[in-house]
Amino acid sequence: MEKRRGPPPCQSKAGCSNPAKIRKAKDGAQLCGPCFSKSFEDDVHETIINNNLFKVCDVILVSKNRSWGRETPVAEGPTTKTTVT
């Protein structure tokens, strides 16, 4: 019986040793769950900063959308309100 190969190791720059579970569409890197979340947050942060999307005192609503869809324009999940400081 052929031995099944396990998942490749996480390709995080942080030198993580977890097995990769998700391929990031942006650059094709294969990452574990925690490294994917961190990488995604870093990308979003970079986009926000580079494009001056928010200013100090802006109020932001953050919502979890359970539908996974791209066709839901209105926040429908649990919503959190935060102020940029």
In the complex, which residues of this chain contact Zn ion (CB under 5 A)? 10, 12, 16, 18, 32, 35
Q: 19 or 77: whose CB is closer to Zn ion?
A: 19
Nearest distance from residue 41's CB to Zn ion, in Å?
A: 14
In this structure, are residues 58 and 32 in contact, taking their beta carbons and an 8 Å threshold? no
Q: 17 or 67: whose CB is closer to Zn ion?
A: 17
Coil, helix or strand for 42? helix
Nearest distance from residue 7's CB to Zn ion, in Å?
A: 11
Report the half-sphere exposure of 57 (CA within 13 A, side-chain side).
Answer: 0
